[in-house]
Every structure is written in C-alpha cells, then in structure tokens.
C-alpha cells in the first residue's frame, strides 16, 4: 500500500508545477514535522553558518517534495551568491584562526566521535527523514545512517595519525615532511545518498584540520540540515562546518570558482563533474570527483546461482537503482544463461516496491519526477533498439515516483541502454563464452567505477578482478561497502578516492622542511 500522507503540512500545499518555487515570505528557522511512522521532530530550514541556522540574505526559499507521495514536506531557505560568501568567509576565518587546524589532533578525534554518538542515538529519526526526503526504503536508510556513524568514527581514528616522515639526506641536514590541511574545502553532494555523502565529505576534511562549506542537493536537503544541529554539541567550533542549501547553477558555481576555496569535492554526474573540473582547474584548486558508472556484474557457470541472483538484485534494485556503482550490466556465462535469467526474472518480480516506511519494502520510490521520466524514457529507447523487455518497465501506481524492477535481454553492446547510465532499477543481461570475450565487453565503457564477479574458483576471481577496469571489484557480493575500504573510479568515473586512508590524501598537502645542522 502506498503512503496516503507523508507529513503534517506546515504551510498550504502547492502544485507540482511549482516544485522549485521560490518565495519571499519569512520562514521559521525550524518547522514541526510528523513522519508517517509517528515520529515527530523539528526540521531546521535555515542555512547553517557559523554554527547557527540563519535565513538566506535575500529571504528566498524553495519547496521540498516527498517523492513517495508527491506532497510538499516543507520549504527551506535558498542560498545565493551572497550567502556562499558569508559561509566561505566564516570557514576562512575559522581556518586561519587555528581553532580547528592547529589544535591537538586528539581534539578532532573526540569531536568526531561525539558527532557519531549523537547521530547514532538519533538513528531512527534521521533514517526516517532520509526516507521521507529521498524515497528510499526505511531499511536502506537505517543502513545508510549506520554507515555514517561508522565512517565518522573511522575518520576520528585517523585524526591523530596524519604523520609526515623523517628523510635521511645525510648528516649535514635534518629533513622531514609534514602533512598540512588545505584550508577551506567546497563540497557538493548528490541526492541519492544525502547523509552518507555528507559524511564521506566532511569526515576526512575535518579529521585533517580543514574547514568546510557544503552544498546539499536541492531535492534532498533535510537530513544534512537536521544533523548539523549536532555540530556545535560535538564541540566543533563555529565556522568549521557550514551547510548551504541551493541550486547548482548558483551555489555550485559560486563554490567552484571562489578564490578562497582551496579544494572541491563533488559526487554526481560525469557531465557536471567535467564542468566542475574546468572551473576548479581555472583556479588551480585540488579536486576529487566521484562520478557516474555503468558497472558490469559477472556470473560464471560455477557460481552459486541463487546467491548470485540475490547479489544481482542488491546490485541493481538497492536504493531504487539510484546508485552510481549499480551493477546495471549483467554478463552470464552461456551455459547457465537461461537458468540464471529465469531465476532472476522470478526474483525481480518478487521484489517488494512501494511504501518506503514499510520495513518489508526493498525498493522505494525514485527521488524525483525528472528521474522517473528519464528511466521510463530509457525503457522506450531499449524497446526501440530491439532489446527484449523481460519484465517490468512500467510505472507502479499513480501516486509517488515508483517503477517496477526492469530487465532487458537480447541486448547488443552498442545499444544506449547498455552504454549510458540510466540511474534506476533497469538492468541488461548478456551472455558470454570466454573470459577474453567477457573482459572485452565489460571494459568497453567510458566508466570504471565498480564491478562484480560471481564464481567458486578463486583463480578466476583473481584473474578477472585484475583485468577489469574498475575502482572496486566485489567477489560473490555487491554494494558491500566498508568504511576502511577506499571507493572511487577509473576513467570517466572520477578522480580520487572516498573512505579508507586514501581519502585523507585528498585533504592534505605535503610540506618538506630541510634544516642545515653542520
């Protein structure tokens, strides 16, 4: 059953045609919201600057829609260029004061652990906000929040281990290096994992002593604003973390071109990533980009097929398919192709799609009408290209942005549904005969974010893992993240890495010191 009402509305409902409505009335800095599961809370609506929620300078706001009901949740303040200037200046003052960058690193460790504690204690509310705002299944949202907690604690553990080294350059000099923070970091996060990407961005930046101005996705700003109230409570000083809600063409552009911002971190589409890279390059900023993907998920004949099918489902229908590393191209060894496809079709048709607040739901809604329309358009493209629609390909219900899990067979490698990122619960299935044929097809992509391999032969696992052009390869599992394991892409899937020790390199620079002693 789909939701009847997402929230207790705090202002009159508006039509969907005004989804990005900007208004000029004075909006409270917090509004009461009652969630479908009965949880009541106060939602911050302001920009978070200098450890305070404040209205935007121009008083503009925009509407936030619940994608599972198409109803208004609330309005939040919309940042513009002058608000970005305020946030950057606050971050710059905080960095230069040394209140965060120059303290004993254990102070950062304690603060990040406290932030993780606050979030963990409030896990149910935060996960429910994520489900309301993004449309993802509540079970997935709870998993996301736990990953947030784990990653912040992991970053806390790294905070006092950012070490340089002593270099033996002969007895006449004492030479050493130290790793220093960059300064103000501009960060832009996507709408598919709003809070998890918030943590992936601020965690390593804060652990290494930087300050942050972060832009939320305009369609999913609520969870990042909500957890920001814990920043001062955790002991993080004013100006260290600043959150601005707004639109990419205004706020994103201001961040990527601002002279005081020393580094840009972005997660989103490859097309936008290229634009950001150009902007940042013109100002010689350090850049990390986690971009799109069209990841292969491979099943060999010796695999446990039932387990493989479940991993394929997790790979493509988890988070409604709105996952940059989704296993959207499935390759199956010819001898088990028919059997695998039959099992996969049955399992796909059994996936529960609908009310994201139902604990038994696996696939919630798509995050926006725009994304739903894009997915349905690709379904039509697949049909026109001559692929066989095995199952799904239709909108589910007439309220909320739901779509049935979708499988295409009889595809050719030059089809758009094979080449282009759809970013939804749509998968193509292709057969292969040899490892060489598989590698050629799997690597024939501009992307290189992730891949999956299903086999009982460890030699096959090693051989194929080493040959696939992918930043992450999962074997007999999929979408299996860990806070200590780096994540990022090859080729058009990005630059740099999130998580693990590697993420810290994105937020530090090396200084060499050479002292003459003789």
Q: Indicate the residue among 242, 268, 291 that finishes a domain.
A: 291
> What CATH number has the domain bearing residue 347?
3.40.309.10
> Do 236 and 327 lie in a common domain?
no
Nearest to 11 by CA among 68, 61, 73: 73
φ/ψ of 214, rounded to 5, equals -115, 130
CATH number at residue 189: 3.40.605.10
Within this chain, do residues 149 and 248 fall inside the same structural domain, yes or no?
yes
Nearest to 418 by CA among 295, 298, 332, 335: 295
Q: Which residues are catalytic?
A: 290
Is 446 inside a domain boundary? Answer: yes
The total number of structural domains in the chain stands at: 2
The answer to whether residue 304 sits within a structural domain is yes
Shared domain for 223 and 84, answered yes or no, is yes
Q: Determine the structural domain holding residue 351 and report its residue range.
A: 296-480
- pLDDT at residue 25, rounded to an integer: 53
- Domain presence at residue 1: no
Listed residues 234, 264, 291: the one ending a domain: 291
Predicted local confidence at residue 169, as pLDDT: 94
Tell me if 512 sits within 8 A of 178, measured CB to CB: no
Q: Do 322 and 282 sit in the same domain of this protein?
A: no
User: Would you state the pLDDT for residue 1?
Assistant: 29
CA of 443: how far to CAs of 299, 333, 431, 467, in Å?
16, 16, 15, 9
Q: Are 51 and 190 within one domain?
A: yes
Q: Is residue 313 a part of any domain in this protein?
A: yes
Q: Are residues 373 and 261 in the same domain?
A: no
Instruction: Give the position of tokens 């690709």.
Output: 378
Question: What values do phi and psi take at 415, rounded to 5?
Answer: -70, 150
User: Averaged in consecutive runs of 10 residues, what is the pLDDT profile of the chain (518 residues)?
Assistant: 33 36 70 96 98 97 97 97 98 98 97 98 98 97 98 96 94 95 98 97 98 98 98 98 97 96 96 94 93 97 98 98 98 98 98 97 97 98 98 95 98 98 98 98 98 98 98 98 96 96 94 93
- 61 is a domain residue: yes
Say if 193 falls within a structural domain.
Answer: yes
Cα angle 166-169-172, degrees, rounded to a multiple of 5 = 110
Same domain membership, residue 303 and residue 254:
no
Residues 309 and 372 in one domain: yes
Q: CA-to-CA distance for 92 and 175, rounded, in angstroms?
A: 30
- Asked if 243 and 311 sit in the same domain, the reply is no
Note whether 337 and 281 are same-domain residues. no
Residue 310 lies in a domain: yes
The answer on 344 and 214 residing in a single domain is no
- Asked if 240 and 329 sit in the same domain, the reply is no
For residue 499, tell me if it sits in a domain. no
Cα(298)–Cα(463) distance, rounded to whole angstroms? 13
Q: Tell me, what's the pLDDT at 3? A: 33
Q: Which residue has the tokens 């394929």?
A: 312
């Amino acid at each position: 059953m789909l939701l009847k009402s997402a929230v207790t509305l705090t202002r009159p409902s508006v039509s969907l045609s005004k989804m990005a409505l900007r208004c000029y009335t004075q909006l409270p800095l917090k509004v009461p919201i009652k969630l479908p599961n009965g949880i009541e809370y106060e939602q911050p609506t302001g920009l978070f600057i200098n450890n305070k929620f404040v209205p935007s300078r121009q008083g503009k706001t925009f509407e936030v829609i619940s994608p599972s009901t198409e109803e208004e949740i609330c309005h939040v303040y919309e940042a513009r260029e002058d608000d970005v200037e305020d946030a950057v200046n606050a971050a710059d003052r905080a960095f230069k004061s040394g209140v965060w960058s120059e303290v004993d690193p254990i102070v950062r460790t304690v603060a990040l652990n406290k932030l993780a504690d606050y979030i963990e204690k409030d896990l149910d509310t935060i996960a429910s906000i994520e489900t309301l705002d993004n449309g993802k299944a509540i079970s997935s949202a709870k998993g996301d929040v736990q990953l947030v907690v784990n990653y912040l604690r992991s970053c806390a553990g790294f905070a006092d281990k950012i070490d340089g080294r002593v270099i033996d350059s002969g007895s006449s000099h004492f030479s050493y290096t130290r790793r220093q923070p960059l300064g103000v970091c501009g960060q832009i996060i996507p709408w598919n994992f709003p809070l998890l990407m918030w943590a992936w961005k601020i965690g390593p930046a804060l652990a290494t002593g930087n300050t942050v101005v972060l832009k939320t996705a305009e369609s999913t700003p609520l969870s990042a604003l909500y957890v920001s109230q814990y920043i001062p409570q955790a002991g993080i000083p004013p100006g260290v973390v600043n959150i601005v809600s707004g639109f990419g063409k205004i706020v994103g552009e201001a961040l990527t071109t601002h002279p005081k911002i020393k580094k840009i971190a972005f997660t989103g589409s490859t097309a936008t990533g290229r634009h950001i890279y150009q902007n940042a390059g013109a100002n010689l900023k350090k850049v990390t980009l986690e971009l799109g993907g069209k990841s292969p998920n491979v099943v060999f004949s010796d695999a446990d097929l039932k387990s493989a099918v479940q991993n394929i489902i997790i790979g493509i229908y988890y988070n409604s398919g709105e996952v940059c590393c989704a296993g959207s191209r499935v390759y199956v060894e010819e001898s088990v192709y028919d059997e695998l496809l039959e099992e996969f079709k049955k399992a796909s048709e059994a996936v529960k799609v609908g009310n994201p607040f139902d604990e038994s739901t696996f696939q919630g809604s798509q995050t926006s009408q725009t994304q739903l329309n894009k997915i349905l358009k690709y379904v039509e493209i697949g049909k026109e290209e001559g692929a066989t629609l095995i199952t799904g390909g239709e909108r589910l219900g007439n309220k909320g942005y739901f779509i049935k899990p979708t499988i295409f067979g009889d595809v050719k490698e030059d089809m758009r549904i094979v080449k282009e990122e759809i970013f939804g619960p749509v998968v193509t299935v292709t057969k292969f005969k040899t490892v060489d044929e598989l590698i050629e097809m799997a690597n024939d992509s501009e992307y290189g974010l992730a891949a999956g391999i299903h086999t009982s032969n460890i030699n096959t696992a090693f051989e194929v893992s080493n040959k696939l052009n992918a930043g992450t390869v999962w074997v007999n599992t999929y979408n299996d993240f860990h806070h200590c394991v780096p994540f990022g892409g090859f080729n058009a899937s990005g630059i740099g890495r999130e998580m693990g020790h590697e993420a810290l390199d994105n937020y530090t620079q090396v200084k060499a010191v050479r002292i003459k002693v003789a």
